[in-house]
C-alpha cells in the first residue's frame, strides 16, 4: 500500500468519525445550549370555586360559585441547558383572556337577571412559569421526553366587569364595580418532549399543571361579593423550537 492510499483511507475514516460525532453532538441537547420554542398555548382551567359570599345577603349563597373558560394564545419557552440533562425553562405568552361566569342558580334567587352561566367578567392574565427540567433519555436520541417542576406567578393584567352585572338592580344587575382578582404564586408540574428534526430545529409538546389560587371580590348594591377561586389550569403547548 502506498503512503498516499493509507493517508486517504485514514482521512476518510477520520472524516466519517467526525461527521458521526458531529451529528450525534448536534442532535443532543448539551450543556450551554439555548432552546427557543414558539407555538400555541392553551390555558384550560380545572377550576373549583367557593360559594359566593355576599355581605348584604347574609353571607354564603347556597348553589353559587364562579366558572372560568379556556383560552389559547401564542406561547414561548426559552430553555437553557445547565447540563446535558438538566434545563431551566421560562414559559411566556401573549396575555390570556378568560370569561368568568356565575355557576349555580343561587344568585338568581336574589337577582333573576343573573342566572346560572351568566358572564360577569373577563380577566386578562400572564402566567410566567420558571421550571427546572430533567431529560429522561440519552440525549443523543431524537425523541427527548422530560419532566419539570417550577414556580408560576400569575399576574392579573386586567379585570373587566360585564354590562349585565354592572347594571342597576332594577335593570337585572347588581350595580357591581371594583372587581379585584388577586395575583397568584404557586407550584407548576410539567411533562413534555422535544423531537429533534435536525441539528437546529425541533418539535415540542408540553403539558403543565399549574396551581393558581386566587380570590375575587367586587362591590355591589348588595354589599361586597367574594369568592375563593382555584383555577388550577392544565396548560397545553405545541411548538416549534430552535436550538443555538
**Choice between 67 and 164, CB closer to Ni ion:** 67
d(CA 86, CA 144) in angstroms, rounded, equals 12
Q: Name the nearest CA neighbour of 213 among 47, 22, 64, 13.
A: 47
Q: How far is the CB of 181 from Ni ion (least distance, A)?
A: 15
- In this chain, which of 211, 226, 228, 234 binds Ni ion, going by CB under 5 A? 211
Binding region for Ni ion (CB under 5 A) out of 38-46, 63-71, 138-146, 212-220: 212-220
d(CA 75, CA 56) in angstroms, rounded, equals 42
Phi, psi of 127, deg, nearest 5: -115, 60
- In this chain, which of 33, 63, 213, 228 binds Ni ion, going by CB under 5 A? 213
Q: How far is the CB of 165 from Ni ion (least distance, A)?
A: 25
End-to-end CA distance of the chain: 44
Contact 119, 60 (CB under 8 A): no
Q: How far is the CB of 83 from Ni ion (least distance, A)?
A: 31
The three-class DSSP label of residue 164 is helix
Looking at residues 217 to 236 of the shown chain, list those that interact with Ni ion (rule: CB under 5 A).
230, 232
Q: How far is the CB of 212 from Ni ion (least distance, A)?
A: 7
Tell me, by CB under 5 A, how many residues bind Ni ion: 4
Residue ranges that bind Ni ion, judged by CB under 5 A:
211, 213, 230, 232
Amino acid at each position: 500500500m502506498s503512503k498516499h492510499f493509507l493517508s486517504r483511507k485514514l482521512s476518510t475514516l477520520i472524516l466519517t468519525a467526525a461527521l458521526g460525532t458531529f451529528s450525534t453532538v448536534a442532535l443532543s441537547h448539551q450543556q450551554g445550549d439555548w432552546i427557543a420554542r414558539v407555538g400555541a398555548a392553551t390555558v384550560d382551567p380545572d377550576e373549583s370555586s367557593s360559594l359566593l359570599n355576599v355581605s348584604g345577603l347574609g353571607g354564603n349563597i347556597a348553589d353559587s360559585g364562579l366558572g372560568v373558560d379556556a383560552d389559547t394564545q401564542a406561547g414561548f419557552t426559552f430553555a437553557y441547558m445547565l447540563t446535558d440533562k438538566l434545563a431551566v425553562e421560562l414559559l411566556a405568552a401573549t396575555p390570556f383572556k378568560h370569561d368568568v361566569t356565575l355557576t349555580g342558580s343561587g344568585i338568581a334567587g336574589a337577582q333573576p337577571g343573573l342566572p346560572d352561566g351568566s358572564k360577569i367578567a373577563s380577566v386578562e392574565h400572564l402566567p410566567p412559569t420558571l421550571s427546572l427540567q430533567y431529560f429522561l433519555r440519552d440525549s443523543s436520541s431524537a425523541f427527548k421526553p422530560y419532566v419539570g417542576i417550577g414556580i408560576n406567578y400569575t399576574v392579573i393584567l386586567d379585570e373587566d366587569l360585564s354590562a349585565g352585572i354592572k347594571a342597576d338592580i332594577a335593570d337585572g344587575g347588581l350595580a357591581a364595580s371594583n372587581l379585584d382578582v388577586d395575583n397568584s404564586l404557586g407550584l407548576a408540574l410539567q411533562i413534555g418532549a422535544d423531537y429533534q428534526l435536525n441539528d437546529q430545529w425541533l418539535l415540542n409538546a408540553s403539558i403543565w399543571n399549574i396551581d393558581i389560587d386566587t380570590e375575587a371580590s367586587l362591590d355591589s348594591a348588595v354589599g361586597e361579593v367574594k369568592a375563593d377561586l382555584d383555577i388550577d389550569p392544565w396548560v397545553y403547548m405545541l411548538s416549534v423550537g430552535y436550538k443555538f
